[in-house]
Amino acid sequence: MSTCRESELDALLAGELAPEDASRVRAHAEGCAACKHALAWQRLERGWMTQRARRELVRPALSFSALEARLAVAQKAPAPVRHARREGQWRHWGKMAMAAAAAVAFVGLSLPRGGAGVGVGVGVGTEEPWSRELIVATGVEACEDAAAALEARVGACLIASPVLALRAD
Q: Is 3 in the site for another protein (CB under 8 A)?
A: no
Considering only 33-41, 85-93, 124-132, 150-158, which stretch makes contact with another protein by CB under 8 A? 33-41
CA atoms of 8 and 22, how far apart (whole Å): 9
Q: Is 84 in the site for another protein (CB under 8 A)?
A: no
Q: How many residues bind another protein (CB under 8 A)?
A: 36
Q: Is 68 in the site for another protein (CB under 8 A)?
A: yes
Residue among 23, 27, 37, 119 that touches another protein (CB under 8 A) = 37
Q: Is 118 in the site for another protein (CB under 8 A)?
A: no
Shortest spacing between CB 32 and another protein, in angstroms: 13
Residue among 23, 30, 47, 132 that touches another protein (CB under 8 A) = 47
CA atoms of 151 and 165, how far apart (whole Å): 16
The DSSP code sequence of the chain is --S--HHHHHHHHTT-S-HHHHHHHHHHHHT-HHHHHHHHHHHHHHHHHHHHHHHPPPPGGG-HHHHHHHHHHHHHSPPHHHHHHHHHHHHHHHHHHHHHHHHHHHHHHHS--SSSSTT-STT--TTSPPPHHHHHHHTHHHHHHHHHHHHHHHTS--S--HHHHHHH-
Q: Is 67 in the site for another protein (CB under 8 A)?
A: yes
Which CB sits closer to another protein, 2 or 7? 7
Show the beta-strand stretches assigned E in the chain.
Answer: none
Residue among 23, 27, 30, 44 that touches another protein (CB under 8 A) = 44
Residues that bind another protein (CB under 8 A): 5-7, 10-11, 14, 16, 34, 36-37, 40-49, 51-53, 55-56, 58-59, 61-62, 64, 66-68, 70-71, 74
